[in-house]
Amino acid sequence: MSKTCLFVGLLCFCFVASHFTEGQASGNCDSDLLKKASGLQDKDMPYKDRGSRCEGVYEKLVATSEPLSVRSFTARSQIANSLPPALQLIWTRTGLGPLTIRGFALKQRVYYEMDTRIPSDNRKFDWTTDVLTGISLAPGQVGVVASFVRDKENVVLPIAIVPASVTPPLAGECNQKTYQVTLWPERDFREVYFSIQGKTPGGPGAVVLPKKELGKGLYPAGRAISFCFSVPAGEDVYDLVISAEMTGGGGVPIVLPFLRAD
């Protein structure tokens, strides 16, 4: 009898444990990407559950879809010329609820994503770079976007990427007012503009940074578009408003709410 109880108990434990593990994996992983990585071999670093995050490469179905997307929105980056064994994503804002953090490759024909969800109160996420190194990404080819949900709306929290070996003091680390945004074009663009405006509960607030043209004249598909900006103190949430003109005509508008990093 006692053996039976022990066996049943063990079964229950195994079930609960496996269910918990699966729950974690599915929580971090994008099921669509899991499918797209299912045909890849381990040496290819496929997108899969890797404990604290889901990470890896997947196959890209080559129909065009989103012509322009935000692949990185950071407060600061301290990565040197080569990737350290681990990176730390850090932020100072807490009490925001769970943060969804996504990592992207800023390199043509590298279809890569890292997904994780962690409480914002953690204020840091340790990111082992074995996969990034395995797919030969350079530090400048990694983009990160962290977001949380506020009033049913995704709001970006600009976070900083630093080497884990040089643990910086967290307080005030992200106080710098310069933000860096990286866009990824799937089509050719003629010009890209951005502006920043305050965000109030009633709608858009005052323009804090007027519309600015990046001014390069041509932004070919598959080549990252980066720009930096600062915002004056005052507001807590802003809208980053991006408008881009495609070379063949037509435009792409993006409005992205973000929280001050400090």
Residues that bind another protein (CB under 8 A): 34-36, 38-40, 44, 57-67, 108-111, 135, 186-188, 221-222, 248
Q: Nearest 5 degrees, angle CA 13-CA 54-CA 255? A: 130
Q: How far apart are CA 127 and CA 46, in angstroms?
A: 17
The Cβ-side half-sphere exposure at 5, using a 13 Å CA radius, reads 2
In the bound state with another protein, the residue whose beta carbon lies nearer, of 38 and 200, is 38
In the bound state with another protein, the residue whose beta carbon lies nearer, of 32 and 213, is 32
Work out the end-to-end distance of the chain between its first and last CA atoms, rounded to an integer number of angstroms: 60
Q: Which amino acid is at 126?
A: D
The answer for 56, left when phi > 0, alpha when psi is -120 to 50, beta otherwise, is: left
- Looking up tokens 């400090």 gives 262
Q: Which amino acid is at 202?
A: G
In the bound state with another protein, the residue whose beta carbon lies nearer, of 33 and 160, is 33
CB 110 to another protein: min, Å: 5
Q: How far apart are CA 225 and CA 220, in angstroms?
A: 9
Element (H, E) at 36: helix 31-36
CB 186 to another protein: min, Å: 5
CB 12 to another protein: min, Å: 28
Give 23-27 contacts, CB < 8 A, sequence gap 24+.
Answer: 24/49, 25/49, 25/54, 27/117
CB 77 to another protein: min, Å: 24
In the bound state with another protein, the residue whose beta carbon lies nearer, of 186 and 262, is 186
CB 136 to another protein: min, Å: 9
In the bound state with another protein, the residue whose beta carbon lies nearer, of 55 and 235, is 55
CB 38 to another protein: min, Å: 5
In the bound state with another protein, the residue whose beta carbon lies nearer, of 90 and 256, is 256
CB 35 to another protein: min, Å: 5
Q: Which is nearest to 258 in space by CA: 196, 208, 202? A: 196
Q: How far apart are CA 116 and CA 216, in angstroms?
A: 34
In the bound state with another protein, the residue whose beta carbon lies nearer, of 44 and 262, is 44
